[in-house]
Amino acid sequence: MNIDQVVQRFKFLDLTEYQARVLYALLKHKSCSISEISKVSSVPNTRVYDIVKQLISMDYVIQISDRPKLYRVRNVDMVLDSLISKKSVEFNRVKKEIDELRIFFKDDEQDEKNKIVKVDRELDLIKILNEELINAKKSVIGFGSSELTHSSIKGTLSKIANNNIDIKLLTHSEYAPELEASGLNFIKAFDHNLSAYLIDGKKLILRLSKAGDDVHHMSVSNNHEDLKNMVGAYFEFCWANK
């Protein structure tokens, strides 16, 4: 490993370029004078003393001789563990702040209003459906169509099924064999004219456009109780009688 590779790693651990180079020189040569550190590290001689003082204040370097002045690293493991510990503290702080942002921006399902989503590409519609499905906590029932054959949707259904989400889907007879062959054993073949998904008995996703349309629409309902009850009841009737 050359000096540049070591310096990049030290910089990732929040040392400056010069601090990293001086520390490299001291770690490689154990004890060094200011001029020796400058030669190995390529840090200007006029800057090395200030950098060494900084590393001493960090408790990484000690002076071991006065005449001539010689310096060495206290303990390589201690230095590396200290750098990692400081980085971990920073990471945990950033993670906490990100979690706070996640909570701040996350939709409150109880308060979220009904909305209509309009996109130009069918793939974007599938991405939105995928995001709704992956957030299921208890159950997914629905009348599916060609969107179920998309690889991302099949992957999400497999994933949430493995998380003990109760899934029951009805789809057209032309799609059912492919889905069953993919291991999605919660599929029943049933020809219908709907594309609707009820998630956790609360959120209703309705596709309002057909495949091949120039513009695609989907509704997301959280507080339309009559519509959710109607779709849920109709689904259970079809599922039980299929």
Express each pLDDT in 116-167 by its tens digit.
Answer: 888 888 888 889 899 999 999 999 999 999 899 999 999 999 999 999 999 9
CB neighbour class for 150 (10 Å; exposed up to 12, middle 13-18, buried from 19): middle
| Same domain membership, residue 151 and residue 196 | yes
- Would you say residue 160 lies in a domain? yes
Range of weakest confidence among 52-56, 96-100, 104-108, 152-156 = 104-108
Mark which of 51, 79, 107 sits at the end of a domain: 79
Q: Is a pLDDT exceeding 60 seen at residue 110?
A: no
Q: What percent of the chain has pLDDT over 70?
A: 96
| Same domain membership, residue 135 and residue 70 | no
| Same domain membership, residue 214 and residue 128 | yes
- Would you say residue 84 lies in a domain? no
- Would you say residue 53 lies in a domain? yes
Q: Which two tokens stand for residue 206?
A: 């309705």
pTM of the model: 0.57
| Same domain membership, residue 75 and residue 122 | no
Mark which of 34, 57, 79 sits at the end of a domain: 79
Q: Is a pLDDT exceeding 90 seen at residue 9?
A: yes
pLDDT score at 223: 75
| Same domain membership, residue 137 and residue 232 | yes
The answer to whether 129 and 153 have CB atoms below 8 angstroms apart is yes
Distance of CA 219 to the CA centre of its chain: 26
* Total domains in the fold of the chain: 2
Which domain range does residue 22 map to? 3-79
- Would you say residue 108 lies in a domain? no
- Would you say residue 22 lies in a domain? yes
Tens digit of each residue's pLDDT (9 = 90 or more) over 12-36: 999 999 999 999 999 988 888 999 9
The enclosing domain of 161 has a CATH number of 3.30.870.10
Mean pLDDT of 65-84: 89
| Same domain membership, residue 59 and residue 133 | no
| Same domain membership, residue 119 and residue 61 | no
| Same domain membership, residue 235 and residue 138 | yes
- Would you say residue 30 lies in a domain? yes
C-alpha to C-alpha distance for 116 and 16, rounded to whole angstroms = 51
Mark which of 27, 59, 79 sits at the end of a domain: 79
Q: Which letter does DSSP use for residue 43 in this model?
A: -
C-alpha to C-alpha distance for 13 and 86, rounded to whole angstroms = 8
| Same domain membership, residue 120 and residue 74 | no
Nearest partner of 185 among 162, 202, 211, 201, judged by Cα: 162
- Would you say residue 109 lies in a domain? no
- Would you say residue 43 lies in a domain? yes
| Same domain membership, residue 137 and residue 34 | no
The enclosing domain of 28 has a CATH number of 1.10.10.10
Q: Is 188 helix (H, G, I), strand (E, B) or coil?
A: strand
